[in-house]
Amino acid sequence: MMMKSLKMTVAALALSAGAAQAADVEVLHWWTSGGEAAALNVLKQDLEGQGIGWQDMPVAGGGGTEAMTVLRARVTAGDPPTAVQALGFDILDWGNQGALANLNELAAKEGWDDVVPEALQAFAKVDGKWISAPVNVHSTNWVWANKSVLDANGIAVPTTWDEFTAAVETLKAAGVTPIAHGGQAWQDATVFDAVVMSTGGADFYKAAFVDLDEDALGSDTMKEAFDRMAYIRANVDENFSGRDWNLATAMVINGEAGFQMMGDWAKGEFLNAGKVPGEDFLCFRFPGTGDTVTFNADQFMMFDQGGTVSSEQAALASAILSPSFQIAFNKVKGSVPARTDVDGSDLDACGQQGMKDLAAAASSGKLFGSMAHGHAAPAAVKNAVYDVVTAHFNGEYDSATAVQELVDAVSIAQ
């Protein structure tokens, strides 16, 4: 009797374990806005078409800080999710700790080495092992504008900082909120990426954010960048504090504000609202950063579930890298494909510009990882930059103090 029930229990356990393993992937991600969720659905449906179920583990919070906190708790508890959205140095960190499954067999079969750009491979491989599957390439030096608001005020697309401030003054005089912004550390830092690039140029951005050069971090040019951040702060509405990025995008969509400086995931919100680039909204590079790109690429890391890559993990990675998925997904997400061999003619005008800019910046040596989105420096440095930029944005430091704090914080974080 006892034997029989024991056998039944074992059988039931084997069945339920088998069912969970064979049918589902659990995916931790931070794609919770309308546009992001629409893009994620493209992936869910792709997998469902292959008979693989999706256990959703969303952790709200743009930029993924909160998602990374939840991930650490899950790993510490010995229960990592199957697949996890992650960025740049965070991926390398988990890879170096030996926590990620080796995707080399699949990568070799599908020829990832030949089609994924070098700049992305640098964040997808550790010691020659593929440890994550790149979904896209975003970039942070974009501005999104409401076309009718600009037209009504006689504003042409600004290409320099001075033209930008002139446009801001015109909107202010007309009683329109010039800049839609959400006061959260990662959003302040996203704007800072572009402001630093615009103020100091490509070599300065690299020296400060990639090489972490003290002279660059402590320079007058950096002080000028902070002064420009203060100008931006003076031209957002009074309710900016804590606002989610997609609500700031909605202000531009609804004509309540002229501009938002944000990565191209913002385009996903415009599209999700049925808006058309060139007709309802405009996308252009942050004034003064026209020939440079500060990028971040979303990837899915596959956590080692105690052995080889599971068939569901392989199916997910394979689906992510397939050329048709790369186009279908990135059309909705606002980003551009993570493969160099896909035909982008199906993308809208902003997407096509994004692809062209990316290729041009890569070949002219003007493609750099985004500090705000984990592709310029490791998490500790990124978080140190967040703290200083946010404190300055909220008036705790003047620009000269912010420069000194930046030098100190980055030095301590290394």
Select 292 or 296, whichever has its Cβ closest to ligand GAL.
296
Pick 67 or 282: Cβ nearer ligand GAL = 67
Place of tokens 């990837």: 299
Q: Which stretch binds ligand GAL (CB under 6 A): 58-66, 172-180, 314-322, 397-405?
A: 58-66
Query: ∠ CA 152-153-154 to the nearest 5 degrees?
Result: 95
Q: Is the dihedral of CA 215, 221, 223, 226 positive or negative?
A: negative
Per CB under 6 A, which region of 56-64, 109-117, 142-150, 399-407 contacts ligand GAL?
Answer: 56-64
CB of 371 to ligand GAL, least distance (A): 12
Question: Which parts of 217-256 interact with ligand GAL (CB under 6 A)?
Answer: none
Angle among Cα 145, 147, 148 to the nearest 5 degrees reads 130
Query: Which of residues 30 and 259 has its CB atom nearest to ligand GAL in the complex?
Result: 30
Task: Note whether 294 and 374 are within 8 A (CB).
Answer: no
How crowded is the C-beta side of 298, counted as CA atoms within 13 Å? 29
Q: Would residue 33 be called left, alpha or beta, if left means φ above 0 and alpha means ψ between -120 and 50 degrees? A: beta
Q: How far apart are CA 333 and CA 328, in angstroms?
A: 9
- When asked if residue 267 is in the footprint of ligand GAL (CB under 6 A), the reply is no
Question: Rounded to 5 degrees, what are φ and ψ at 86?
Answer: -155, 165
Least Å distance between CB 122 and ligand GAL? 16
Contact between 265 and ligand GAL per CB under 6 A: yes
Q: Determine, following the binding rule CB under 6 A, whether residue 182 of this chain makes contact with ligand GAL.
A: no
Using the rule CB under 6 A, which residue among 298, 312, 357, 405 binds ligand GAL? 298
The DSSP line for 10-50 is: HHHHHHHHHHHHHHEEEEEE---SHHHHHHHHHHHHHHHTT
Nearer to ligand GAL, 36 or 193 (CB): 36
> Residue 66 Cβ, how far from ligand GAL at the closest point, in Å?
10
**64 contacts ligand GAL (rule: CB under 6 A):** yes
> What does DSSP say about strands 298-302 and 132-134: parallel, antiparallel, or unpaired?
antiparallel
Instruction: Please report, as a single letter, which amino acid is at residue 310.
Output: S
Beta strand 53-58 pairing with 24-29: parallel
Q: Which of 26, 36, 193, 304 binds ligand GAL (CB under 6 A)?
A: 36
Which of 29/125 has CB closer to ligand GAL? 29
Query: Which burial class, exposed, middle or buried, applies to 399 when counting CB atoms under 10 A from its CB (0-12, 13-18, 19+)?
Result: middle
**Binding flags for ligand GAL, 161-180, as an x/- string (CB under 6 A):** --------------------
Minimum CB separation of residue 85 from ligand GAL in Å reads 8
300 binds ligand GAL (CB under 6 A): no
User: What phi and psi values does residue 142 have, to the nearest 5 degrees?
Assistant: -120, 155
**296 forms part of the interface with ligand GAL (CB under 6 A):** yes
Does position 140 bind ligand GAL by CB under 6 A?
A: no
Query: Using CB under 6 A, which of 63, 134, 178, 369 touches ligand GAL?
Result: 63
CA angle, corner 116, sides to 114 and 119, nearest 5?
120
Task: Verify binding: residue 373, ligand GAL, rule CB under 6 A.
Answer: yes
Indicate the residue among 68 and 309 with the shorter CB distance to ligand GAL: 68
Q: Which stretch binds ligand GAL (CB under 6 A): 60-68, 192-200, 206-214, 303-311?
A: 60-68
Contact 313, 24 (CB under 8 A): no
- Minimum CB distance to ligand GAL smaller for 62 or for 158: 62
Among the listed residues 25, 26, 27, 30, the single contact to ligand GAL using CB under 6 A: 30
Is 62 a binding residue for ligand GAL by CB under 6 A? The answer is yes
Kindly state the tokens that stand for 117. Answer: 């750009």
90 lies in the site for ligand GAL, by CB under 6 A: no
Phi-psi region of 374 (alpha: psi -120 to 50; beta: other; left: phi over 0): left
Binding ligand GAL (rule: CB under 6 A), the pick from 138, 267, 339, 375 is: 138
Judged by the rule CB under 6 A, the positions of this chain that interact with ligand GAL are 30-31, 36, 62-64, 87, 138, 265, 296, 298, 373
